[in-house]
Amino acid sequence: MLKLDSKRSRYLGMDWQSKQHPFAIEPNDSLICCDLRGCIFDKLDLSGCEFFGCRLNGTSFQGATLHETKFIGCFSDEGDRPTDFSNTIAGSVSVVSSHINFLSEEHQLTFQNSFWGDDLILGDSIRNVFRWPSEVAKAAADTLSERNDVRYNATVKLGELDNPVVAPLLGCLLADKEWDVRAIALEVLGKLRHQEFGYGDEVLLEWMFVCLGDKHSIVRQTAAELVETISPPERVLLTSINRMVVGTSDEERLAGLLAVIELCQLDDNYVDLLDREVIDSLLLKEGSEIRSESSRLLEIIGDRAI
């Protein structure tokens, strides 16, 4: 969905299922709420990389270098292919709030530099590192279903269980192909954020409020309601708005416009976040939908100076 540039490259909401050709992933990159099931990362240098809220069933890291690599809120279900860490070269790997089904000793699993030994940062206990409560893991597994209704109901169940450990994984559903699944995932994430999320609070908020520019109006409306209840910092909302400035495609620029419209309809004080020159430039775009939404935005903000 998005790649945002910073000191490290950040890949958000990417669906890379079964991708096997060489990745452009480099040391210290972040993969956030990505579907990596069946992906091949064999022999890559993933030192310092962060895997946050990623789906990892069947993901292969055979022979990869995982020095100071972090797995936070990641998930691979016991009922599907395990994550393969065979012959990994690793040190000081962090596994936090994750539920990972990986190859066991009976499959002759071996790690150089004691991957699961003294170099592993464990947190409170081995159980908390590698396993979620069974009812949470079962509902999380159902979010991987091919059936829309199963994914929807599983998300509702995770909300009822009220365990924020699944918040990063729910971020994957914000890129789901079905709007009702995206909307319920966003709603549940809002309910799970009693206070700040334990890990990755700001990046999760940024990803949630990118939904202000979702192509479906109900998802946009759900995101707008969360703006009122969560009151995110303006810098978080700017991540969504700036898509119309830095977007490399008409789809991203349109999403940025839709996000701005939702915010300005919610509270006209958000007009202060906008650049009038950017809006005027979008009026010149060839895409008729971008022009029409730009015109609608100007009607909403009226004569107010920007």
- CA gap 170, 184 in Å, rounded: 10
The matching CATH number, chosen from 1.25.10.10, 3.30.70.1710, 1.10.3210.10, 3.30.2350.10, for 134-301 is 1.25.10.10
pLDDT at 106 (0 to 100)? 42
User: Which residue type, as a one-letter code, is found at position 65?
Assistant: T
Strand partners, 70: 50, 94
Burial pattern 127-146, b for ≥16 Cβ within 10 A else e, equals ebbebbeeebbbbbbbbbee
Bridging pattern class, strands 111-112 and 94-96: unpaired
End-to-end CA distance of the chain: 29
Neighbouring CB atoms inside 10 A of 230's CB total 15
pLDDT of residue 113: 39
Q: Give the pLDDT of residue 287.
A: 62
* Confidence (pLDDT) at 285: 64
3-state secondary structure of 88: strand
**Domain range annotation of the chain:** 1-131, 134-301
What is the C-alpha separation between 230 and 55, in angstroms, rounded?
27
Q: How far is CA 237 from CA 227, 231, 240, 244, 280, in A?
A: 9, 10, 6, 13, 21
CATH number of 1-131, picked from 1.20.120, 3.90.930, 3.40.30, 2.160.20: 2.160.20
pLDDT tens across the length of the chain (306 residues) = 444 444 578 899 999 998 887 788 999 999 999 999 999 999 999 999 999 999 999 999 999 999 999 999 999 999 999 999 988 888 888 889 999 998 644 444 443 433 444 444 433 334 344 689 999 999 999 999 999 999 999 999 999 999 999 999 999 999 999 999 999 999 999 999 988 998 999 999 999 999 999 999 999 999 999 999 999 999 999 888 887 767 778 888 888 889 989 998 998 788 777 776 777 777 666 567 888 888 888 888 875 555
CA 280 – CA 252 distance, rounded (Å): 17
Full 3-state SS string of 7-66: CCEEEECCECCCCCCCCCCCCCCEEECCECCCCECCCCECCCCEEECCECCCCECCCCEE
Q: DSSP string of 114-133?
A: -TTTTTSB-TT-HHHHH---
Structure tokens at 285: 């775009």
| Common-topology check for domains 1-131 and 134-301 | no
CA dihedral 152, 155, 156, 162 (to 10 degrees): 180
Asked if residues 61 and 85 have their Cβ atoms less than 8 Å apart, the reply is: yes
The per-residue pLDDT for 133 is: 94
